């Protein structure tokens, strides 16, 4: 059952008029003459106006929460900042240390890996590699024996064979592959034997004044007729032997094509070059049968200015140099431009200002979007006008061009110079046989301008029109460089990297922080500036950590993976993980990595540098309980701290020490007591340490192996806990005393005076007060009514020693017992309570003393003048029989009131005789409710009541920490009735059915239904484990068809997660019996004797005090569990209607599944931070 509340309705009979429901009812004698008036007293008025006098002070006092705000702690974090890393020195190519990358070969270039992480590609104007069956291989033009007496080239896609003597009809043979060959001889050649040097074979004096040189070149053979006299022949016939090829003339050159017309080889138009660098194109070709007739310009050869020897060049080679886009030419003032196959002229050559142009077109396709670090042009100067150094410049070409004739001085447009250098090579002074400044190669570093130029080329921002090499107009500034068709053609060395990226770190402080045992997170934005897209799995973000003090490398770690492809110029923001680091200060260089080991930082890509300070963090106090300003309901509260040793090794543990001190008037701690260090994170303040109605300061000390930290002070107020409802009844402090209805608690009160006898001393009056929220039924005048004669003193039976005094108006006040036996009144009340060997004495602020027997029965009321009213009780029944004034030691028989009883309630009250006849009042009851009062004049008042419930009042009177009625009609929030919590203890509904029929009769309150599978009401974390001394109370109705299940549980992880520790605090077993146990480290739940799966509502209370747990069912004690204290420090997650059992088999009748849900309904759940005694439990039922 549950406590029934009664709403009062009053009906007056016999013509007596009531002055108002709030005021007293005055009984008149015959003729309206009043009987035996007592002293004038103000009980109230029916007037709706405001009370007389000045308006009261309506300013609200500051709340406890305002005076004692929640404590806060700084969360650990790193110190981080973004720094610019030092620029890496780019050394580029070094012939001693750079190594070729064979996989990067192509026909016209070779790439080297440099020690600084960059790559350098050497671009040539002639093929340097050929494609073999297993990939690209270097071309080797050196001549080696063919094993027969002849010679052949070492390695190339074109086979070259040379005869041992000049008379051979196959003096030279070029094999282009696929069965195609070109061979030729020289008619009239002398039997000269060839002499080999490197890639050249020389046949001396093959004709008068003529030597023949055949030089193996990549993809072809260069034939040079060296004429040492103007008397040398001017016509030469070369018989051709062709296999699968047919010759024809095309614009001055011989084209050798296969049967389909595809050109397989060419013999470009020849030219002549004398020793003075004079050049002539006077070389003509004629096909005579299967022979090629070459005719030289005899007039040019016989010019007086001619300097011998003169070199004549007809060359046989593969067409278009294997497809290279490389080009070269020179332009001269007053002379048509010419291709730069043999020579590249610069400066004033033979009186003509000259400039050369070189273009390496393959560069763009090879290095597209690469990062360029530098470029150097290498050229060989083999002749000059003097050995005095003359300056040349290298300029970017801004106009397009194609090597050959048709360009006049100064040639295609150029930009500002990129580089300059002075030197001279190859000049042979008159009378000397060798040069004092021999032929040599020169490297011109193109500098930052050249670097940026090439970068624009490969990025597609500017057309690659090549470079121009230019000199001065000085008459002796002429320079001759070897051309693209020579053994030493120009080369361009470009240092580059295929990798490039830019980074940004918006917030340099990791969140969560990086600790010794915890990874941190930071966002890094990365933009792809490289040559290719970044695909997931092929690229990732990493970092390298360095000690800032020593620069020593600490670690390299993968930080984040790509989840999608990042195209060039695409940007992505990654959640980078920073692995745990020991305390210290670090540089973290974030860089992209190409899977396989290519770290962008190693390829001269600047990283994003984070300067990170990882602190040696001492233990961190995260939470204290009780909270600051907590009003402790006991003098032995449990103090609890949660702390984290953030950077502790796995095997370490924290130690805790708790200190509690009295707070003096200045707010400083004094008289401190501590627990000493222990591994327990909770400590119960020993009995005798605290006294009621004081303010205490407490704090927690936490230490690991090396460091001790202290929490801020938190305040505990030992205010004696008052009944939440009955302490507010009628004229309670701070209540609405001048109103019938008190909105603070929802109480309606009224009063009536039945008898008032004039006397000296304490009032000899029978005044009754009614309170609608009063849950008590044992009043002398029935449920809800109290009077002076209902005053009593009742000890709490929870082991605290506290007592509750009931005042005449029904208000109840709890006095707290201190360890020295004294009693403390609640804050704001001036009263003292003492106990001696014979009685209790209550002294109020008026000086009146109320004396109670040791059993708590009111015996005497004495005013400050020593006048007393003595209460007499029937010796047989123990019931009140008389209240009599005793004014002095000699006059102990003053006026009196006598009382008659029927059952447990007074049914008659009578005064001493007045004019010979006593005045009498009669009282009638229906059950425990007062239904009728009749006075001396036979006028009667009838009382009617409407049914309700006092359960809420009874629960709140027991001072719960939280109280969930579970009566919401909709929504997901389960609100708490404890309003001072400001909603912070609200629960959350999950898969439950709201609006089920509730357990309270006479109300519209509803309950929550649970489906047995997924239903739960999640309570705020740590709610159940807050206090060692605790109680939980709820009502449940088990489904007749369900298997019961958990009513309340807590565990170390959220429900549904992989918990490792869990306790079903209350559950109905598969056998239908109720079981209950708070966590103690062992399994031994208290079990009801009878089953509760009968489809009816049942009340359950599980209460704990010290090492004793008690289970109550339907108001009656089931049994105790003794010997162990509650230990629930890890069980932070708690919920109604679901629970997790660590080892299901060890819990009786739990079932085989670790996690279970309840099948049935739950209503009115209350949680207390102290125990509930048997009397309180019974009163709630």
Residue range 130-167, pLDDT digits in tens = 999 899 999 999 999 988 889 999 999 899 999 999 99
Residue range 1007-1042, pLDDT digits in tens = 999 999 999 999 999 999 988 789 999 999 998 887
Residue 305 and residue 276: Cα distance in Å, rounded?
9
Domains 327-497 and 960-1180 share a fold: yes
Span 849-865, average pLDDT = 95
Q: CA end-to-end span of the chain, whole Å?
A: 6
Percent of the chain at pLDDT above 90? 66
157 conformational bin, left if phi > 0, alpha if psi -120 to 50, beta if neither: alpha
Residue range 666-681, pLDDT digits in tens = 999 999 999 999 998 8
Percent helix, strand, coil in the chain, to 5, is 5, 45, 50
- This prediction has a pTM of 0.54
pLDDT at 58 over 70: no
Residue range 953-997, pLDDT digits in tens = 778 878 899 999 999 999 999 999 998 888 999 999 999 999 999
DSSP bridge pairs for 372: 496
CA proximity to 857, closest of 836, 879, 824: 879
Identify whether the C-beta of residue 687 lies closer than 8 Å to the C-beta of residue 599.
Answer: no
CATH architecture of 509-527+537-614: Sandwich (2.60)
Residue 1004 and residue 997: Cα distance in Å, rounded?
8
Span 292-313, average pLDDT = 94
pLDDT at 40 over 60: no
Residue 334 and residue 1134: Cα distance in Å, rounded?
100
Residue 65 and residue 712: Cα distance in Å, rounded?
17
Residue 854 and residue 794: Cα distance in Å, rounded?
10
Strands (E), 268-307: 271-273, 279-280, 283-288, 291-296
Q: Band of the pLDDT at 945, cuts 50, 70, 90?
A: confident
Burial class (CB in 10 A: 0-12, 13-18, 19+), 799: middle
Predicted pLDDT of residue 872: 95
Identify whether the C-beta of residue 570 lies closer than 8 Å to the C-beta of residue 504.
Answer: no
DSSP string spanning 7-29?
EEEEEEETTPPPS-SSS----B-
Residue 1034 structure tokens: 């709820």
Span 270-276, average pLDDT = 86
Predicted pLDDT of residue 889: 58
Instruction: For the chain, give every domain's residue range.
Output: 135-321, 327-497, 509-527+537-614, 620-717, 726-949, 960-1180
Residue range 339-379, pLDDT digits in tens = 888 889 999 998 999 999 999 988 999 999 999 999 999 99
Residue 720 and residue 468: Cα distance in Å, rounded?
100
Residue range 914-934, pLDDT digits in tens = 888 999 999 999 999 999 999
DSSP state at residue 581:
-
The contacts found for 43-49 with CB under 8 angstroms, 24 or more apart, are 43/751, 43/753, 43/767, 44/20, 44/738, 44/751, 45/19, 45/20, 46/19, 46/20, 46/22
Higher pLDDT, 94 or 26: 94
**Helix, strand, or coil here: 298?**
helix
Residue 817 structure tokens: 């017992």
CATH fold of the domain at 620-717: Immunoglobulin-like (2.60.40)
Burial class (CB in 10 A: 0-12, 13-18, 19+), 267: buried
Give me the numbers of helices (H) and strands (E) for the chain, helices first please: 6, 91
Residue 423 structure tokens: 């030197």
**Helix, strand, or coil here: 454?**
helix
Residue 779 and residue 806: Cα distance in Å, rounded?
11
Residue range 409-438, pLDDT digits in tens = 999 999 999 999 999 999 988 888 889 999
Predicted pLDDT of residue 468: 98
DSSP string spanning 670-715?
EEEEE---BS-SEEEPPTTS--SS-EEEEEEEEE-SS-EEEPPPEE
**CA Rg value for the chain:** 56
pLDDT at 7 over 60: no
CATH architecture of 327-497: Sandwich (2.60)
Statement: 960-1180 belongs to CATH 2.60.120.200: yes
Residue 41 structure tokens: 């007293």
Residue 180 and residue 16: Cα distance in Å, rounded?
142
Predicted pLDDT of residue 20: 28
**Helix, strand, or coil here: 199?**
coil
Higher pLDDT, 43 or 827: 827
Q: Band of the pLDDT at 14, cuts 50, 70, 90?
A: very low
DSSP state at residue 77:
-
Residue 852 backbone dihedrals phi, psi, to 5 degrees: -120, 150
């Amino acid at each position: 059952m549950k406590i029934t509340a009664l709403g009062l309705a009053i009906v007056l009979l016999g013509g007596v008029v009531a002055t108002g429901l709030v005021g007293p009812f005055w009984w008149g004698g015959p003729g309206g003459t009043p009987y035996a008036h007592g002293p004038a007293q103000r009980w109230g008025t029916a007037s709706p106006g405001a009370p007389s006098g000045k308006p009261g002070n309506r300013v609200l006092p500051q709340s406890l929460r305002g005076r004692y705000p929640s404590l806060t702690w700084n969360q650990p974090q790193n110190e981080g900042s973004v720094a610019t890393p030092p620029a890496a020195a780019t050394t580029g190519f070094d012939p001693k240390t750079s190594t070729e990358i064979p996989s990067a070969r192509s026909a016209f270039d070779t790439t080297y890996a440099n020690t600084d992480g960059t790559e350098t590609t050497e671009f040539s104007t002639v093929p340097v590699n050929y494609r073999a069956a297993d990939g690209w291989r270097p071309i080797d033009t050196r001549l080696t024996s063919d094993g027969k007496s002849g010679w052949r080239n070492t390695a190339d896609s074109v086979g070259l064979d040379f005869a041992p003597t000049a008379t051979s009809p196959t003096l030279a043979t070029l094999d282009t592959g696929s069965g195609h060959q070109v061979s030729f001889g020289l008619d009239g050649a002398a039997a000269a034997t060839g002499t080999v040097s490197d890639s050249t074979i020389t046949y001396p004096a093959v004709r008068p004044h003529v030597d023949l040189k055949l030089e193996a070149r990549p993809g072809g053979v260069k034939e040079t007729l060296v004429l040492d006299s103007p008397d040398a022949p001017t016509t030469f016939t070369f018989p051709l032997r062709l296999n699968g090829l047919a010759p024809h003339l095309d614009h001055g050159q011989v084209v050798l094509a296969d049967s389909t017309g595809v050109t397989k080889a060419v013999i470009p138009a020849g030219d002549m070059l004398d020793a003075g660098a004079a050049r002539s194109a006077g070389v003509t070709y004629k096909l005579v049968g299967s022979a090629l007739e070459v005719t030289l310009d005899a007039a040019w050869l016989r010019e007086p200015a001619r300097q011998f020897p003169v070199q004549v060049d007809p060359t046989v080679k593969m067409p278009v140099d294997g497809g290279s886009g490389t080009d070269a030419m020179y332009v001269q003032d007053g002379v048509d431009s010419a291709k730069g196959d043999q020579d590249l002229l610069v400066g004033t050559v033979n009186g003509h200002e000259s400039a050369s142009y070189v273009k390496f077109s393959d560069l763009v396709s090879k290095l597209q979007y690469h990062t360029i670090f530098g470029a150097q042009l290498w050229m060989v100067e083999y002749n000059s006008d003097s050995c005095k150094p003359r300056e040349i410049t290298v300029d970017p070409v801004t106009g397009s061009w194609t090597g050959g004739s048709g360009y006049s001085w100064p040639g295609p447009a150029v930009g500002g110079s990129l580089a300059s250098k002075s030197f001279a090579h190859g000049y042979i002074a008159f009378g000397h046989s060798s040069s004092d400044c021999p032929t040599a190669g020169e490297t011109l570093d193109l500098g930052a301008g050249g670097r940026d130029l090439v970068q624009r080329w490969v990025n597609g921002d500017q057309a690659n029109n090549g470079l121009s090499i230019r000199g001065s107009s000085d008459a002796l500034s002429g320079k001759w460089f070897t051309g693209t068709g020579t053994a030493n053609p120009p080369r361009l060395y470009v240092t580059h990297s295929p990798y490039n990226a830019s980074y940004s770190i918006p917030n340099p402080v990791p969140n969560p922080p990086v600790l010794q045992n915890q990874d941190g997170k930071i966002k890094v934005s990365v933009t792809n500036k490289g040559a290719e897209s970044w695909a997931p799995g092929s690229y990732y973000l990493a970092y390298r950590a360095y000690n800032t003090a020593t620069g020593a490398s600490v670690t390299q770690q993968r930080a984040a993976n790509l989840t999608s492809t990042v195209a060039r110029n695409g940007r992505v923001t990654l959640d980078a993980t920073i692995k745990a680091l020991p305390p210290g200060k670090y540089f973290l260089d974030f860089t992209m990595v190409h899977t396989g080991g290519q770290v962008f930082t190693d390829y001269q890509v600047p990283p994003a540098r984070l300067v990170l300070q990882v602190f040696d963090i001492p233990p961190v106090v995260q939470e204290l309980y009780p909270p600051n300003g907590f009003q402790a309901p006991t003098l032995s509260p449990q103090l609890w701290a949660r702390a984290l040793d953030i950077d502790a090794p796995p095997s370490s543990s924290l130690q805790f020490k708790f200190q509690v001190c009295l707070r003096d008037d200045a707010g400083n701690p004094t008289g401190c007591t501590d627990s000493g260090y222990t591994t327990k994170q909770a400590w119960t303040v020993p009995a005798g340490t605290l006294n009621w109605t004081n303010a205490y300061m407490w704090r927690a000390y936490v230490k690991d192996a090396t460091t001790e930290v202290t929490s801020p002070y938190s305040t505990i107020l030992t205010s004696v806990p008052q009944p939440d409802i009955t302490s507010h009844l009628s004229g309670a402090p701070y209540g609405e005393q001048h109103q019938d209805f008190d909105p603070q608690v929802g109480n309606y009160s009224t009063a009536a005076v039945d008898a008032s006898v004039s006397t000296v001393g304490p009032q000899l009056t029978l005044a009754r007060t009614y309170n609608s929220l009063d849950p008590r039924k044992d009043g002398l005048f029935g449920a809800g009514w109290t009077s002076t004669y209902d005053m009593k003193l009742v000890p709490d039976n929870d082991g605290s020693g506290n007592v509750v005094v009931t005042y005449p108006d029904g208000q109840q006040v709890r006095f707290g017992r201190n360890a020295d036996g004294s009693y403390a009144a609640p804050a704001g009340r001036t009263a003292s309570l003492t106990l001696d060997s014979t009685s209790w004495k209550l002294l109020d602020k008026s000086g009146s003393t109320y004396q109670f027997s040791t059993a708590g029965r009111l015996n005497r009321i004495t005013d400050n003048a020593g006048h007393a009213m003595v209460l007499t009780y029937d010796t047989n029944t123990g019931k009140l029989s008389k209240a009599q004034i005793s004014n002095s030691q000699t006059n102990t028989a003053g006026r009196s009131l006598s009382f008659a009883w029927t059952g447990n309630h007074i049914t008659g009250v009578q005064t001493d005789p007045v004019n010979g006849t006593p005045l009498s009042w009669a009282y009638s009851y229906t059950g425990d409710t007062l239904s009728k009062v009749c006075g001396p004049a036979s006028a009667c008042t009838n009382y009617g009541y409407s049914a309700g419930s006092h359960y809420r009042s009874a629960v709140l009177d027991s001072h719960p920490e939280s109280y969930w009625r579970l009566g919401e009609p909709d929504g997901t929030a389960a609100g708490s009735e404890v309003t001072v919590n400001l909603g912070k203890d609200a629960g959350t509904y999950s898969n439950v059915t709201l609006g089920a029929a509730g357990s309270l009769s006479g109300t519209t309150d509803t309950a929550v239904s649970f489906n047995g599978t997924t239903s739960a009401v999640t309570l705020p974390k740590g709610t159940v484990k807050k206090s060692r001394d605790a109680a939980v109370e709820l009502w449940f109705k088990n489904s007749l068809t369900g298997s019961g299940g958990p009513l309340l549980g807590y565990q170390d992880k959220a429900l549904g997660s992989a918990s490792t520790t869990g306790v079903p605090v209350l559950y109905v077993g598969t056998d239908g019996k109720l079981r209950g146990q708070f966590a103690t480290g062992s399994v031994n739940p208290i079990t009801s004797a009878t089953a509760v799966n009968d489809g009816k509502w049942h009340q359950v209370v599980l209460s704990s005090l010290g090492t004793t747990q008690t289970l109550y069912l339907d108001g009656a004690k089931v049994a105790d569990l003794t010997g162990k204290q509650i230990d629930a420090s890890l069980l932070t997650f708690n919920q109604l209607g679901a629970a997790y059992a660590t080892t299901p088999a060890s819990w009786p009748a739990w079932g085989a599944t670790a996690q279970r849900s309840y099948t049935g309904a739950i209503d009115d759940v209350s949680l207390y931070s102290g125990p509930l005694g048997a009397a309180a439990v019974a009163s709630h039922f």
